[in-house]
C-alpha cells in the first residue's frame, strides 16, 4: 500500500496566517509544497535538495519578515530549527577572505537571511565561498533576499544552493482594500465597500497605522460601523502628520540650501562662478536627455575649501535632482583604496563607489594611489577606479582632490582619467582679508568676542604664515583659533575674569608664539568652517 503524505490541521493553520497578509499570499502554494517536501525528505522518500529559499523581494523589508515568520513556524514544527528566530546577516561574505561564521553569535538553530543588497554574488570567488559556508552548515536554513539572486549568469549555480523560490509582490490597491476588509470583518465593524477604495490609497504601512487607530476609536466608543467621514478624518490625520514629520526632517537636514551655502562661503569668487556654470551646463544637458559625466578634479593647496565645495555640490545635486540617489557625501583618502593583498584593491574601490552611488565620492589626496608605486596594487586601483567612473558616469560624481602638481602627474599617468574627468577646478590660496574673515566666522560661530585692537596682529601673522612652504590656509586659521582659545581659557582662570567670551590681543600673541612652522610637514586636504 502506497503511503500518502498530506498536510495536517496544524499545517493548515500555519498556512492560514498568509491569508491575512498582503503581498505574500501567492506563496501559500509554494509553502504547501515545501511542507510536503520536508515530510518526504525526513522519511527518506527524497534524498536530494535542501530547505534553502531564494526570495525575490519586490516590496518592503517588513513584508519579507511577515513571510519569514510563517516559514519559521513550519521549520520549527518539523524540528529543522529549534526556535523561530530569524537572523539577518549583512555582508557576511567577502571575496577572497573566509566568511567569519564561527565568529557570529546567535545564528544557531535559526533562519539565516543573507541580504543581497549587501552581498554581490556575481563574483565567482564569492559564490564558491558561499557554497563552502553552506556545506559547513547543512542543517541551516538560508534565505537569499532580492531579485538579483533569481536572475543572471549565476542562476543555474544558485539552484544547487536553494531548492525553493518565492516572490513578494508589490502591494496593489486591491490588496490594500482586501486587507482593510479582513481587518474590519475580524472586528465585526460595518462599512461601505465603495468607501474603502479612496481610503486605502495610501502607503501600506501608513494604512496599517490608520486601521489600528480606527479600531481603537470604535472600540472605545462602542461603535460598530464606519462612515465615510470617519475614514476621511483618520486619513487626513495621518496625511498631515506624515507631511509635518517629513517637512521637519527636511528642515533639519537643509536649514540652508546648497546654493545659499555656496554664496555664503568666504572668498572663492571664481570658484563659485565655475560651479554655477557647471550646474547650468549639467541641468541644460539633462533636460535635453544628454546627461554629461559629472566627474571632477580639484587642485590646490590644503585648506582652500575643496572639501567644503565638494559637500555643497553633493547637496545641490540632491536638491536639483541632478542625481537619482540620496545625495550622500562619501569622503575617503586615496591610500585607503589600495589593498594589502592581491585582489583586495579592486573590491575596495568597487565597494566604495557603490556606497556613494547617487551622491558624491570625494577622494582626498588622490595622488597617494600611486605615491609609493609598490607594485601592481596601485595600478589595479587606478584601472578599477577608471572603470567605475565610466560604468557609473551618470549616477555618481567622483571628485579627485590634491596638490596641483601631484594631481597633474596622476592625470597624465593614465589617459583614462583625462577622458573621464569633465571639469578641473584650481583652488587659489586665501588672501589676508579672507583669512581674517574666516577667523571672525569661527569666533561668531562659537560666540567669542574679538577685541578691536586684534585685527592688525592677525593680519601680520597671516602675511608671515603665507610665506611658509606648507601653509594650510583655512586649516592654519582653525589651528590658530584653537591655540588662542587655549591661551584665553588660561587667562580667564588665572585672573578670575568674568568676560569668558572675550579674546584679547595678548591671547593672540601668546598663541602665535607657540606655532612652529617647521612642524607642519603633513599634507592634508580640506577645511570646513
Which segment of 1-10, 34-43, 369-378, 475-484 scores lowest on mean pLDDT? Answer: 369-378
Q: Which residues pair with 489 in a beta bridge?
A: none
Same domain? 417 vs 480: no
> What stretches of 174-252 adopt beta strand conformation (E)?
none
Residue 1 resides in a domain: no
All residues at 6 or more sequence positions from 77 whose CB lies less than 8 Å from its CB, including other chains: 10, 11, 14
* Displacement of CA 215 from its chain's centroid (Å): 37
CB 168 within 8 A of CB 56: yes
Phi, psi (degrees; rounded to nearest 5) at 511: -65, -40
All residues at 6 or more sequence positions from 323 whose CB lies less than 8 Å from its CB, including other chains: 294, 317, 358, 359, 395, 396, 397
Q: Is the pLDDT of residue 346 over 50?
A: yes
- The residue from 147, 168, 189 where one domain ends is 168
Residue 120 to residue 95: CA distance in whole angstroms: 9
Domain assignment of residue 66, given as a range: 9-168
Residue 394 to residue 262: CA distance in whole angstroms: 23
Q: For position 150, what pLDDT does the model report?
A: 41
pLDDT in tens, 194-210: 888 888 888 777 788 88
Q: For position 517, what pLDDT does the model report?
A: 55
Whose CA is closest to 317, among 423, 397, 421, 398?
397
Residue 484's CATH number: 1.10.8.60
Same domain? 449 vs 324: no
Residue 527 resides in a domain: no
Residue 499 resides in a domain: yes
Residue 2 resides in a domain: no
What letter does residue 21 receive in the DSSP assignment? S
CB 337 within 8 A of CB 363: yes
Same domain? 179 vs 78: no
Same domain? 194 vs 135: no
Same domain? 415 vs 309: yes
All residues at 6 or more sequence positions from 131 whose CB lies less than 8 Å from its CB, including other chains: 160, 161
Q: For position 241, what pLDDT does the model report?
A: 63
Residue 81 resides in a domain: yes
Q: For position 95, what pLDDT does the model report?
A: 40
CB 338 within 8 A of CB 369: yes
Same domain? 510 vs 407: no
Give the residue-averaged pLDDT of 339-345: 66
Element (H, E) at 426: strand 423-427
Q: For position 96, what pLDDT does the model report?
A: 39
Name which residue leads in pLDDT, 273 or 50: 273
Residue 117 to residue 133: CA distance in whole angstroms: 19
Residue 524 resides in a domain: no
CB 56 within 8 A of CB 146: yes
Residue 36 to residue 98: CA distance in whole angstroms: 35
Residue 502 to residue 485: CA distance in whole angstroms: 10
Residue 11 to residue 77: CA distance in whole angstroms: 9
Work out the pLDDT band at 133, boundaries 50, 70, 90.
Answer: low
Residue 334's CATH number: 3.40.50.300
Whose CA is closest to 391, among 432, 420, 351, 355?
420
CB 115 within 8 A of CB 88: yes
Same domain? 331 vs 417: yes
* Displacement of CA 366 from its chain's centroid (Å): 22
CB 402 within 8 A of CB 299: yes
Q: For position 66, what pLDDT does the model report?
A: 84
- Total residue length of the chain: 529
Give the residue-averaged pLDDT of 129-142: 63
Q: For position 8, what pLDDT does the model report?
A: 92
Residue 192's CATH number: 1.10.8
Residue 33 to residue 25: CA distance in whole angstroms: 14
Which segment of 29-38, 59-68, 141-150, 385-394 scores lowest on mean pLDDT? Answer: 141-150
End-to-end CA distance of the chain: 84
**DSSP notation for 104-141:** --S-TTSEEEEETTT--TTSHHHHHHHHHHHHHTTTSE
Q: How many domains does the chain have?
A: 4
Q: For position 62, what pLDDT does the model report?
A: 66
Q: Is the pLDDT of residue 390 over 80?
A: yes
Same domain? 78 vs 210: no
Residue with cell 585648506: 303
Whose CA is closest to 24, among 65, 85, 81?
65
Work out the pLDDT band at 368, boundaries 50, 70, 90.
Answer: confident
Residues 12/14/19/23 CA torsion (nearest 10 deg): -130
Q: For position 108, what pLDDT does the model report?
A: 64
Residue 3 resides in a domain: no
Give the residue-averaged pLDDT of 238-244: 62
Same domain? 195 vs 214: yes
All residues at 6 or more sequence positions from 215 whose CB lies less than 8 Å from its CB, including other chains: 183, 187, 189
In 10 A of CB 373, how many CB atoms? 8
Which segment of 42-51, 112-121, 297-306 scores lowest on mean pLDDT? Answer: 112-121
Q: What does the angle CA 481 – CA 485 – CA 487 come to, to the nearest 5 degrees? A: 115
Residue 400 to residue 422: CA distance in whole angstroms: 12
Give the residue-averaged pLDDT of 23-36: 89
Q: Which residues pair with 143 in a beta bridge?
A: 53, 113
Grid cell listed for 181: 476588509
Same domain? 301 vs 422: yes
Residue with cell 474603502: 196
Same domain? 370 vs 294: yes
Q: Is the pLDDT of residue 110 over 80?
A: no
- The residue from 226, 249, 272 where one domain ends is 249
Which segment of 51-60, 118-127, 192-201, 485-494 scores lowest on mean pLDDT? Answer: 118-127
Q: Which residues pair with 449 in a beta bridge?
A: 502
- The residue from 113, 138, 168 where one domain ends is 168
Q: Specify which of 69-73, 152-156, 354-358, 391-395 reaches the highest per-range mean pLDDT.
A: 69-73
Same domain? 311 vs 328: yes
Q: Is the pLDDT of residue 526 over 50?
A: no
Residue 187 resides in a domain: yes
Work out the pLDDT band at 36, boundaries 50, 70, 90.
Answer: very high
pLDDT in tens, 61-79: 567 888 888 999 999 999 8
All residues at 6 or more sequence positions from 303 whose CB lies less than 8 Å from its CB, including other chains: 430, 472, 473, 474, 475, 476, 477, 478, 526, 527
Which segment of 55-64, 225-234, 301-310, 418-427 scores lowest on mean pLDDT? Answer: 55-64
Work out the pLDDT band at 115, boundaries 50, 70, 90.
Answer: low
Give the residue-averaged pLDDT of 362-389: 75
Amino acid at each position: 500500500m502506497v503511503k500518502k503524505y498530506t498536510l495536517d490541521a496544524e499545517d493548515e493553520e500555519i498556512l492560514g496566517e498568509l491569508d491575512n497578509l498582503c503581498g505574500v499570499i501567492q506563496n501559500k502554494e509554494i509553502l504547501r509544497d515545501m511542507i510536503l517536501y520536508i515530510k518526504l525528505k525526513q522519511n527518506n522518500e527524497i534524498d536530494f535538495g535542501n530547505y534553502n529559499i531564494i526570495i525575490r523581494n519586490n516590496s518592503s523589508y517588513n513584508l519579507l519578515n511577515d513571510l519569514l515568520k510563517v516559514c519559521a513556524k513550519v521549520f520549527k514544527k518539523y524540528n529543522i530549527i529549534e526556535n523561530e528566530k530569524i537572523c539577518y546577516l549583512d555582508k557576511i561574505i567577502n571575496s577572497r577572505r573566509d566568511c567569519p561564521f564561527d565568529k557570529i553569535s546567535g545564528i544557531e538553530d535559526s533562519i539565516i537571511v543573507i541580504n543581497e543588497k549587501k552581498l554581490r554574488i556575481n563574483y565567482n570567488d564569492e559564490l564558491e565561498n558561499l557554497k563552502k559556508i553552506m556545506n559547513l552548515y547543512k542543517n541551516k536554513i538560508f534565505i537569499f533576499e532580492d531579485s538579483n539572486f533569481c536572475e543572471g549568469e549565476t542562476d543555474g549555480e544558485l539552484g544547487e544552493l536553494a531548492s525553493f523560490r518565492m516572490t513578494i509582490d508589490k502591494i496593489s490597491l486591491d490588496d490594500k482594500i482586501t486587507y482593510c476588509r479582513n481587518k474590519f470583518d475580524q472586528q465585526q465593524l460595518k462599512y461601505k465597500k465603495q468607501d474603502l477604495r479612496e481610503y486605502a490609497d495610501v502607503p501600506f504601512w501608513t494604512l496599517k497605522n490608520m486601521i489600528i487607530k480606527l479600531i481603537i476609536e470604535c472600540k472605545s466608543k462602542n461603535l460598530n460601523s464606519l462612515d465615510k467621514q470617519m475614514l476621511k478624518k483618520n486619513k487626513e490625520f495621518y496625511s498631515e502628520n506624515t507631511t509635518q514629520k517629513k517637512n521637519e526632517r527636511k528642515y533639519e537636514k537643509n536649514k540652508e540650501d546648497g546654493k545659499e551655502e555656496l554664496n555664503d562661503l568666504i572668498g572663492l569668487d571664481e570658484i563659485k562662478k565655475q560651479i554655477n556654470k557647471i550646474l547650468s551646463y549639467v541641468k541644460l544637458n539633462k533636460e535635453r536627455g544628454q546627461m554629461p559625466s559629472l566627474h571632477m578634479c580639484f587642485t590646490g593647496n590644503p585648506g582652500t575649501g575643496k572639501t567644503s565645495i565638494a559637500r555643497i555640490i553633493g547637496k545641490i545635486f540632491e536638491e536639483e535632482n541632478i542625481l537619482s540617489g540620496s545625495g550622500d557625501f562619501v569622503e575617503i583618502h586615496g591610500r585607503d583604496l589600495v589593498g594589502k593583498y592581491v585582489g583586495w584593491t579592486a573590491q575596495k574601490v568597487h565597494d566604495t563607489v557603490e556606497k556613494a552611488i547617487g551622491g558624491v565620492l570625494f577622494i582626498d589626496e588622490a595622488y597617494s594611489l600611486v605615491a609609493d608605486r609598490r607594485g601592481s596594487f596601485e595600478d589595479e586601483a587606478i584601472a578599477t577606479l577608471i572603470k567605475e567612473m565610466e560604468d557609473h558616469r551618470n549616477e555618481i560624481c567622483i571628485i579627485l582632490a590634491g596638490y596641483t602638481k601631484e594631481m597633474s602627474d596622476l592625470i597624465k599617468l593614465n589617459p583614462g582619467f583625462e577622458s573621464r574627468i569633465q571639469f578641473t577646478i584650481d583652488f587659489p590660496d586665501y588672501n589676508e582679508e579672507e583669512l581674517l574673515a574666516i577667523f571672525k566666522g569661527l569666533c561668531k560661530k562659537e560666540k567669542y568676542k574679538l577685541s578691536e585692537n586684534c585685527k592688525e596682529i592677525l593680519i601680520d601673522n597671516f602675511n608671515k604664515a603665507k610665506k611658509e612652504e606648507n601653509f594650510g590656509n583655512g586649516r592654519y586659521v582653525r589651528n590658530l583659533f584653537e591655540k588662542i582659545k587655549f591661551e584665553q581659557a588660561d587667562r580667564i582662570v588665572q585672573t578670575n575674569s568674568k568676560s569668558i567670551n572675550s579674546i584679547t590681543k595678548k591671547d593672540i600673541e601668546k598663541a602665535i608664539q607657540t606655532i612652529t612652522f617647521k612642524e607642519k610637514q603633513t599634507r592634508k586636504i580640506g577645511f570646513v568652517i
